[in-house]
Structure 1
């Protein structure tokens, strides 16, 4: 292992691919000091990344809509091959290909033991919960890189059982690190089940993953709403109904055209805080999706909210929204007895089952999200095209392993 090419946020709208030192079996110094950990990480492994993806959450940082500082390394969707392991890694071997949950978790705190790996208490000095390459998430180096260090590897990593199959199905399996479990989590926590009707707000990769997951869960009708025609076409490509929120007709009326009634059993917010109000030339309205899904979800229904909301947004349209304070119609949700589920998806709750669905040809998530492979050096182009609304999920190939697989 020589150096390590890695994607870095420079300023709003600008990323670059830079040469860094290779990762070591060490936790970030701030984490070690604040949490009383040894900086040496015999529990960790070094991965040669097979695939690593651009996520909409990364795009929020790159747009300048978080407090991410220049120099922030990027990337939390990772699938890689173990090339080095610490002395305390007992159940994994060099050469294993593994999916990396974007949640960094110790496996030892109360939350991890209760399955809440998205809010681990021991890996981030600032708050509960951590991730690779993300602002305020503990200073862990990003995974849009040739190599990455994964701590507490026996707990965190999901080994793909067969190497040949792992490489053959790499485009599906790389989605296990985040968007497939996150979309599934959104649909599952919204109560989607056999015969139910569901509305998914947002046809980006997470929204498409949520819609696909709703189908896996047995939904009778999955309706996806967005303002991007190409992304709506992608949703229709695997059997979803769609609504265009730029049209004059209300969301309720468009749903009634499809279902005969203006409401659904469940709804998923896969948009988050950079939401736009309905209409062709509508401006930003951070709470609009939350309010709309309460409006169109039946009394007693559930709302899954995997879309990202932040506590610091310097580009927000008003002062309250800059601290994540939104004008949500909680009274409406209360009156309709809605249940809400928010926060980071606890990836390990779902990733093994979803892996088995992929390996046994029951799930083809890469097709649903239009997975598109580009070299690591082309990451800036991927970010630019994704920001312009490309109906693609960009998969970076840091070490030239994806073409060999296919």
Structure 2
């Protein structure tokens, strides 16, 4: 039997590449696995040879020790791979297919899945609706920052690329379909971004940059990205966005200088619960800052998309309330302005096929927008460190050297 290696969370600030078990078509006991999931048969699943797997800001929350993730949890929910083995119940996916894996695991059978709410499947996580690979409290499904990984309900979950050679040629764009591209698009879509919109996106990390590219794809007239990190703001400007440096203060004045008015039609929170204050408070964590500022900034009757992660358990929260996800929101502002909010996991399957077509037909260059940068599996710990320090890059792990032209030396797209 072949071996396997994966990137595991060890303790706050530390990940390491470990020897792990080769995947099986049965859910095994291990770090974070819900006891009710142990022994679950996966005849409906496949084993993938991982082509690419990305480091996500959501992973970074765990690695910083800001969740209750257990030691030795194999990370990674952004997965693209080649099918090397399939279960007896898999009918349409074949060995050799190259596929994108939505980060949300869904059964395709429950009420929520049938309604398209694949981010809150009722059958894959005994603890709560919704599951994901390699993530705390998400059922214990093993992560894909590894050489091989199991994907359940393969006929339902996998997005097969129509042509293998074309897919491998565009793999740095297509690898973004597992999470950040649909997530950024979902943030804009739920914020009502359309032709001629003015849009403010809080956060210039990979999800924020993906949201900015999505806003452009949706026809926004002006896309403004706010952040504290000057390198990331420069990356946003590289593909036509306006920018706001929130270390200089709240965004309204800078937005007014750009638009002539201190408000936008739509706003997206791509920061989440580790937000910092604005202006002189930017050195301090203030988890409600982004949401409150977006309510001030969004025009009356507007919408706010919130793909940024918020949690119910944060050991590093700034106070007892923050440690359980309770924030001091100015809900009265939102009510008075009749604002609408959409939160939660992006239902990736709602968007991924259409976004795949946009990539394959050269309507968007998402890898360029997020500065996709290829590293080897062994370089993953370095990638985590650099990403945590604020590097304006989206790290793409290439476990088998399958990315064209990659020597595993940090090559950018």
What interval of TM-score do these two structures reach, taking the shorter chain for normalisation?
A: over 0.9
Query: Pick from 36, 39, 45: which aligns with 1:34?
Result: 36
What do the CA deviations read for 1:167-195 (whole angstroms, capped 9, x no partner)?
Answer: 00000000000000000000000000000
In structure 2, the CA distance between the partners of 1:103 and 1:175, relative to structure 1 (3 Å rule), is same
**Equivalence map 1:20-59=2 (5 Å):** 20-28=20-28, 34=36, 39-59=40-60
Helix, strand or coil: the match of 2:379?
helix
The separation in 2 between residues aligned to 1:376 and 1:31, in whole angstroms, is 23
Name the counterpart of 1:74: 75
Helix, strand or coil: the match of 1:19?
strand
Helix, strand or coil: the match of 2:320?
coil
The offset of 1:88, in angstroms, is: 0.5
Residue 165 of structure 2 corresponds to residue 164 of structure 1? yes
The offset of 1:400, in angstroms, is: 1.0
The offset of 1:40, in angstroms, is: 2.1
The separation in 2 between residues aligned to 1:63 and 1:167, in whole angstroms, is 33
Name the counterpart of 1:264: 264
Name the counterpart of 2:204: 203
Instruction: Give the TM-score normalised by structure 2.
Output: 0.96
The offset of 1:125, in angstroms, is: 1.3
What do the CA deviations read for 1:300-331 (whole angstroms, capped 9, x no partner)?
Answer: 00000000000000001011000000001111
Helix, strand or coil: the match of 2:195?
coil
Helix, strand or coil: the match of 1:401?
coil
Name the counterpart of 2:124: 123
The count of corresponding residues between Structure 1 and Structure 2 is: 404
Does the 8 A contact of 1:53 with 1:393 survive in 2? yes
Name the counterpart of 1:6: 6
Helix, strand or coil: the match of 1:403?
coil
Name the counterpart of 2:353: 352
For structure 1, the 5+ residue unaligned runs are none
Does the 8 A contact of 1:80 with 1:99 survive in 2? yes
The separation in 1 between residues aligned to 2:210 and 2:297, in whole angstroms, is 21
The separation in 2 between residues aligned to 1:283 and 1:39, in whole angstroms, is 44
The separation in 2 between residues aligned to 1:300 and 1:182, in whole angstroms, is 23
Residue 378 of structure 2 corresponds to residue 366 of structure 1? no
What do the CA deviations read for 1:56-101 (whole angstroms, capped 9, x no partner)?
Answer: 0000000000011111110000000000000110001100000000
Residue 381 of structure 2 corresponds to residue 388 of structure 1? no
RMSD of the TM alignment (CA)? 1.5
**Equivalence map 1:208-357=2 (5 Å):** 208-248=209-249, 250-280=250-280, 281-357=282-358
In structure 2, the CA distance between the partners of 1:289 and 1:32, relative to structure 1 (3 Å rule), is closer
Does the 8 A contact of 2:46 with 2:86 survive in 1? yes
What do the CA deviations read for 1:325-377 (whole angstroms, capped 9, x no partner)?
Answer: 00011111011000100000000000000000000111110000000000010
Does the 8 A contact of 2:225 with 2:236 survive in 1? yes
Does the 8 A contact of 1:167 with 1:405 survive in 2? no
The offset of 1:27, in angstroms, is: 2.8
The separation in 1 between residues aligned to 2:379 and 2:392, in whole angstroms, is 17
For structure 2, the 5+ residue unaligned runs are 408-413
Name the counterpart of 2:410: none
The offset of 1:39, in angstroms, is: 2.1
The separation in 2 between residues aligned to 1:79 and 1:33, in whole angstroms, is 28
The separation in 2 between residues aligned to 1:62 and 1:90, in whole angstroms, is 38
Helix, strand or coil: the match of 1:124?
coil
The separation in 1 between residues aligned to 2:224 and 2:110, in whole angstroms, is 39
In structure 2, the CA distance between the partners of 1:192 and 1:47, relative to structure 1 (3 Å rule), is same
Does the 8 A contact of 1:262 with 1:296 survive in 2? yes
Helix, strand or coil: the match of 1:95?
coil
